[in-house]
Amino acid sequence: MNSDINMNVCIHVCIVRSDETRPHHITLKRGDPPLPFSNLLCKNILFEKVLTAIMITMIGTGHVFNISEQVSFIVKHTWPDAVLIELDERRYAALMSGAGDRKGSENSPKLYRESAEYQNRLSERRGIHPGNDLLAAVTAGRMVEAEIICIDKDAEQTMKEVEEGMSFFERIRYSLSPTADRMLRRYRTNAANKDYIVDEETYVENMRRRFPTLVKKLIDERNVHMAAKIAQAAEKYNNMVVVVGDAHVRGICGLLGGIEIETIRLAEIMDQESMNKVRSRIWNRKAEVSE
């Protein structure tokens, strides 16, 4: 596909300020300044005008599961122009240096260090490289000469905002609740349990009621940021693979309302029978394109 085609993309955003209830409608065009996402919650991003077909395959993964082969297969056989990954530039550099997709320092926020240490320990026990899913996506993307694009917010800054943004009572609930600790670790490592996989939306909303800052910062605002990055990439690339933690898939797809996205969820990747169906679907799609 020709990835240099010039597309005129206009994005219509319905937003609600955190201190208001009335929605505002804003139209963004190429070259407009970015929105101040710190005090906005985007409800929907709609592509109003796209002058060429775009194909996006979104893979929902888990960073501490041994799924590198499955991710690599999907990326290689989709032949994308670009591979968009749930990393910021600092975590990308750490991953490619062999340090894992996250590496805390003494100056890193406490929550960041704790979740990084937990992820590394869990990966070591399972005998895998932390962030193996993302590394596989990058490696496969380079094999097909795809552009590699980091789309996530800075992780350390995000965790700092979580620490600073939690109310007194939310801090108390968090410190006293083993559920919160499990939620943070599960979210950061995407170690989704059966309840989460079956009804992820209900699970997240239940956690939102108890720990609104955690969910807002770790899920909502990052979804908005990553959706905007995907929209920006769509101006240049026709065929993209997006690799994000499974918890982000539904939210990002909801924000990108005007583009058809094929999703491959963690539950499918982890189940051999379901993954075989994914392989067949991708092979059939390749056959249709070649015809």
Q: What is the pLDDT of residue 15?
A: 44
Give the sign of the dihedral formed by CA 213, CA 215, CA 219, CA 223. negative
Name the residue with higher pLDDT: 200 or 12.
Answer: 200
Average pLDDT over residues 159-180: 78
Q: What is the pLDDT of residue 133?
A: 92
The single-letter code of the amino acid at 84 is L
Q: What is the pTM of this model?
A: 0.71
Among the listed residues 119, 204, 283, the one whose alpha carbon sits nearest the alpha carbon of residue 195: 204
Confidence of residue 153 (pLDDT cuts 50, 70, 90): very high
Q: What is the pLDDT of residue 120?
A: 62
Q: Which tens digit of pLDDT belongs to each residue from 37-70?
A: 444 444 454 444 443 578 999 999 887 788 999 9
Q: Which tens digit of pLDDT belongs to each residue from 76-87?
A: 999 999 999 999
Distance CA 279, CA 285 (A): 10
Name the residue with higher pLDDT: 259 or 200.
Answer: 259
Share of the chain above pLDDT 90, in %: 38
What's the per-residue H, E or C state across the chain?
A: CCCCCCCCCEEEEEEEECCCCCCEEEEECCCCCCCCHHHEEEEEEEEEECCCCCEEEEEEECCCCCCHHHHHHHHHHHCCCEEEECCCHHHHHHHHCCCCCCCCCCCCCHHHHHHHHHHHHHHHHCCCCCCHHHHHHHHHHHHCCCEEEECCCCHHHHHHHHHHHCCHHHHHHHHHCHHHHHHHHHHHHCCCCHHHHHCHHHHHHHHHHHCHHHHHHHHHHHHHHHHHHHHHHCCCCCEEEEEEEHHHHHHHHHHECCCCEEEECHHHHHCHHHHHHHHHHHHHHHHHHHC
Q: What is the pLDDT of residue 134?
A: 94
Q: Which tens digit of pLDDT belongs to each residue from 250-291?
A: 999 999 987 889 999 988 998 999 999 999 999 887 666 555
Average pLDDT over residues 224-240: 95
Spatial contact of 102 and 91, defined as CB atoms under 8 Å apart: yes
Q: Which tens digit of pLDDT belongs to each residue from 95-135?
A: 888 765 455 556 666 666 656 665 666 556 666 677 889 99
Distance CA 26, CA 16 (A): 11
